[in-house]
């Protein structure tokens, strides 16, 4: 009996040592900063601390915004509309990842890792009629530097339970609020309640340069107190500096 007890205690001690080493190794991991830049409409540049650059939904000049002066490693496209898939200026250098087939009639499943960034997608619709009006849409999920950033594309409806579960806990949500062809400011508020991100960044809304007749941000933020206007088009984030309470951050596109 003594021998058995001794072995049990020894096994318990070894387990504690292994647990301590695991915790120590995990706590020693350090994540770098992520830089987000908004160029207007649904176009963002996501850059890791290692310099990996991802451009979302590249806009064309018809949107009213200047073209981004950047050469990304990856371009993601939520759907095949002209104001979200303008890849011509970037020649053949970036890897283009499409959420839909090029004819826009079906989804493309995405699940890959490129230069330390895990990229996946969730199938949704551009409208409330299961795509019968404006077609399909793909939500993109980016995981890098310990953060999860979700780009909703031209989401046109509230999310169902399965989509919410798949998206999980979100650090940064890039959310359309302009209405007309996407969720409007009031529906966007409902989506915020569904997903509860730590930071929400509005996109796809009316600005002085936009050629689209969308809602502006005032309708989205009018009843909210957790709003911060960043000033400029850049936000730097890290796993360690996320807000304690959910926050809406308004970026400029200039």
What was the pLDDT predicted at 91?
79
Q: pLDDT digits over 137-165, tens only?
A: 999 999 999 999 999 999 999 999 999 99
Give the whole-number percent of the chain exceeding pLDDT 90.
Answer: 85
Q: Tell me the whole-structure pTM to 2 decimals.
A: 0.88
C-alpha distances out from residue 227 to 62, 198, 243, Å: 30, 12, 12
Q: Residue range 11-21: average pLDDT? A: 56
Phi-psi region of 33 (alpha: psi -120 to 50; beta: other; left: phi over 0): beta
Q: Comparing 30 with 157, which gets the higher pLDDT? A: 157
Q: Is the pLDDT of residue 1 over 60?
A: no
Count Cβ atoms within 10 A of the Cβ of residue 98 and give its class: 0-12 exposed, 13-18 middle, 19 or more buried.
Answer: buried
Task: Check residues 234 and 93 and name the one with the higher pLDDT.
Answer: 234
- pLDDT surpassing 70 at residue 9: no
Q: How far is CA 173 from CA 15, 111, 139, 191, 197, in A?
A: 39, 19, 11, 10, 6
Domain boundaries, the chain: 31-250
pLDDT reported for residue 11: 52
Q: Between the CA of residue 137 and those of 15, 123, 158, what are the distances in Å? A: 48, 7, 13
In the CATH scheme, what is the code of domain 31-250?
3.60.15.10
Residues 6+ apart with CB under 8 A from 82: 60, 62
β-bridge mates for residue 95, sequence order: 74
């Amino acid at each position: 009996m003594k021998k058995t007890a001794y072995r049990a205690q020894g096994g318990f001690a070894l387990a504690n040592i292994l647990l301590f080493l695991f915790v120590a190794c995990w706590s020693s991991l350090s994540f770098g900063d992520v830089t987000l830049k908004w160029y207007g409409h649904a176009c963002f540049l996501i850059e890791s601390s290692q310099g990996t650059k991802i451009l979302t939904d590249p806009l064309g000049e018809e949107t009213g915004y200047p073209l981004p002066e950047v050469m990304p490693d990856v371009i993601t496209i939520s759907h095949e509309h002209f104001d979200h898939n303008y890849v011509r200026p970037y020649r053949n250098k970036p890897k283009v990842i499409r959420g839909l087939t090029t004819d826009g009639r079906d989804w493309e499943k995405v699940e890959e890792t490129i230069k330390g960034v895990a990229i996946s997608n969730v199938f949704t619709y551009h409208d409330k009629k299961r795509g019968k009006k404006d077609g399909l849409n793909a939500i993109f999920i980016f995981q890098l530097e310990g953060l999860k950033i979700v780009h909703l594309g031209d989401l046109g409806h509230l999310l169902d339970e399965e989509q919410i579960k798949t998206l999980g806990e979100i650090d940064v949500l890039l959310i359309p609020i302009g209405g007309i062809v996407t969720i409007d400011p009031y529906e966007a508020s409902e989506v915020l309640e569904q997903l509860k991100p730590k930071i929400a960044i509005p996109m796809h809304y009316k600005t002085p340069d936009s050629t689209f007749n969308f809602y502006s941000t005032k309708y989205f933020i009018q009843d909210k107190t957790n709003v911060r206007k960043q000033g400029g088009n850049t936000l730097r984030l890290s796993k360690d500096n996320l807000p304690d309470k959910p926050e809406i951050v308004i970026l400029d596109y200039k």
